[in-house]
Chains A and B, each alone.
Chain A
Amino acid sequence: MNAPDPHTSDLLDLDCAGDFPILSQKVRGHRLVYLDNGATTQKPDAVIQAEYRFYRESNANIHRGVHWLSQHATDLYEQGRERVRAFLNAARPEEIIFTRGTTEAINLVAQSWGRSQLKPGDEIIVSEMEHHSNIVPWQMVCQDTGAVLRVVPITDAGELRLDEYRALLGERTRLVAVAHISNALGTINPVAEIVRLAHAVGAKVLVDGAQAVAHQAVDVQALDCDFYVFSGHKLYGPTGIGALYGRFDVLDAMPPWQGGGDMIRTVSFERTTYAELPQRLEAGTPNIAGVVGLTAAIDYVCGLGMDRIARHEQALLAYASGAVLALPGLRLIGTAPDKAGILSMVIDGIHPHDLGTILDTEGVAIRAGHHCAMPVMTRFGIPGTARASLAAYNTRHDIDALVAALAKAQKLFGTGRQA
Chain B
Amino acid sequence: MSGNFGDLRELYQEVIFDHNRNPRNFHEMADANRSAEGYNPLCGDQLTVYLKVDGDVVADASFVGHGCAISTASASLMTEAVKGQPVDQVESLFKDMHAMLTESHPEGRDFGKLEVLSGVREFPARVKCATLAWHTLHNAIASARDVAQTE
User: Which residues in A have some Cβ–Cβ distance to B below 8 Å?
Assistant: 349-354, 356-358, 361, 368-370, 374, 377, 383-384, 408, 411-414
CA distance A251 to B99 in the complex (A): 55
B126 near A412 with CB under 8 A, answer: no
Residue B7 is within 8 A (CB to CB) of chain A in the complex: yes
The residues of B with any CB-CB pair to A shorter than 8 Å are: 1, 3, 5-8, 11-12, 17, 21, 42-46, 66-71, 123, 125-126, 129
Q: What residues on B are CB-neighbors of A357 within 8 Å?
A: 8, 11, 123, 125-126
What B residues does A352 contact at CB under 8 A?
68
Contact residues in A for B46 (Cβ distance below 8 Å): 383
A354's contact among B6, B7, B66, B68, by CB below 8 Å, is which?
B68
> Would you call A414 and B68 a contact (CB within 8 A)?
no
User: Which residue from chain B places its CB closest to the CB of A384 in the assembled complex?
Assistant: B44
CA distance A377 to B67 in the complex (A): 14
Which residues of the other chain, A, contact B67 by a CB distance below 8 angstroms? Answer: 351, 353, 383
What is the CB-to-nearest-CB distance from A101 to chain B, in angstroms, rounded to a whole number? 20
Chain A contact residues: helix, strand, loop or mixed? helix
Instruction: Name A361's contact: one of B7, B66, B68 (CB within 8 Å).
Output: B7
A329 to chain B, nearest CB (A): 14
Contact of A412 with B66 in the complex, beta carbons under 8 Å: no
Q: Is the CB of A368 within 8 A of B8?
A: no
Report B29 CB to chain A, min CB distance, Å.
Answer: 23
In the bound complex, residues from chain A placing their C-beta under 8 Å from that of B123 are 357
**Contact assessment for B3 and A369 in the assembled complex, using a CB-CB cutoff below 8 Å:** no
Which of B8, B44, B125, B129 is within 8 Å of A358, CB to CB? Answer: B8
Residue contact A368 to B43, C-beta cutoff 8 Å: yes
CB neighbours of B70 from chain A (8 A): 353-354
Q: A351-B69, A354-B68 are in contact. Are A384 and B43 (CB under 8 A)?
A: yes
**Contact call B1/A411, Cβ cutoff below 8 A:** yes
- In angstroms, Cα B42 to Cα A357, docked, is 15
A369-B44, A383-B44 as given contacts; A353 in contact with B129, CB under 8 Å: yes
Closest to B11 in A: A357
* Sample of 19 more A-B contacts, CB < 8 Å, known A353-B45, A369-B42: A353-B43, A354-B68, A356-B125, A357-B8, A357-B125, A358-B8, A370-B43, A383-B43, A383-B44, A383-B46, A384-B43, A384-B44, A408-B3, A408-B5, A411-B1, A411-B3, A412-B3, A412-B12, A414-B17
